[in-house]
Amino acid sequence: MRHRRLAAVSAAAVLAVAVLGGVAYGAGLPPFAHRAPDTTDTSAQAHHPAADPARHTPTPSSGEKPPVKATPTSRAPRPKPLPSRTPRATPTPTPTPTATTKPSPKPTATPKPKPKALMSVGARSDQVRELEARLHQLDWLSTEWIDGYFGTTTRKAVYGYQGKHGLEPLGYVDSATWRSLRETSRTPTHDELYPPKPKPRTGPLDPRCTTGRTVCIDKSTRSLRWVVDGNVRLTMDVRFGCPSSPTREGTFHIRAKVRHGYSNWYDSAMPFAMFFSGDEAVHYSSDFAARGYNGCSHGCVNVRNWNALSQLFGEARIGDKVVVYWS
């Protein structure tokens, strides 16, 4: 019985092997070859004997040395490159300017200083009056200009005298000119120092001037008269405004008196100023004294007789009447 069972088992085993081999051959696999496990079927991989890598790791035979794994050689770290430095720009040397030799200036002659003036334009004194009287003796000046004021007319006479007598033409009186004048003329008399002035041409008084205290100014005769209760006390030549700024006409009153007046607008002195209409005033004019009727004013009444106007300034009062008219 026992021998029959063994024979049956052996026959079954042979048959099983034959069947498996046929199946494998039919599937295209060589006999005894293993199919690669399907990685998508995790259950087959877990239970299939071929999926266990431990069972199929070949054991090295005796006498064969196991392959030595190459261990990576440790390399020394590469040194980091030093940051490159920007080379400094070498400054270009500034060329030293060549000193140019300037030619030495030619020595110039020092101008001779002008002689000191004893009398010049603008001066007012008794010595100037004497100068004018001496110039009149020599026919360089008319008696009209003997008034003690050194104006442009007196300067013109001095120029002429200096040129005639070989003196430096200065236009003012220095010591040499004064010495020469005293040698060529005589000492003036009182009448020569104070010659009678030609009376200003006058016309009839305006009726407004015949009562009270009135500064009566006639444009027709270019004269000013100081009239008190119809009596004429002073008479003097006057000059009026230019055509572009004519002196106003009418009846006014003295509203202010300024002994040493000055015009800031025109940068001009206005001695003995007596204001009667706005900025218009009766006052002394050095230009009128020097040039006569060759000039005109900015509207004021110019007087050239210093002494007569000084007397009028002392007598006239604020509120006194001023009449400007044509006769």
Last residue within a domain, chosen from 163, 193, 223: 193
Domain carrying residue 242: 207-325
Q: Is residue 198 part of a domain?
A: no
Q: Give which of 150, 153, 148, 155 is closest to 130, Cα–Cα.
A: 148
DSSP-derived secondary structure for 177-218: HHHHHHHHS----HHHHSPPPPPPP--PPPGGGSSSEEEEEE
Q: Which amino acid is at 25?
A: Y
Last residue within a domain, chosen from 146, 162, 193: 193
| Residue pLDDT, tens place only, 295-326 | 899 999 999 999 899 999 999 999 999 999 99
User: Which residues have a catalytic role annotated?
Assistant: 283, 300
Tokens matching residue 52 = 């266990």
Q: What is the pTM of this model?
A: 0.50
- 246 and 308, same structural domain? yes
Q: Is residue 238 part of a domain?
A: yes
Q: Is residue 218 part of a domain?
A: yes
Q: What is the pLDDT along the chain (327 residues), one digit of tens a residue?
A: 444 554 454 545 444 444 444 443 444 444 433 444 444 444 434 344 333 444 444 444 444 455 545 444 445 556 565 555 655 655 666 666 665 666 666 767 777 888 999 999 888 899 999 999 999 999 999 887 888 888 878 999 999 999 999 999 999 999 999 999 999 999 999 999 998 876 667 788 999 999 999 999 999 999 999 999 999 999 999 999 988 899 999 999 999 999 999 988 888 899 999 999 999 999 999 888 878 888 899 999 999 999 899 999 999 999 999 999 999
- 221 and 289, same structural domain? yes
Domain count for the chain, please give it.
2
- 130 and 213, same structural domain? no
| Residue pLDDT, tens place only, 78-121 | 656 555 565 565 566 666 666 566 666 676 777 788 899 999 98
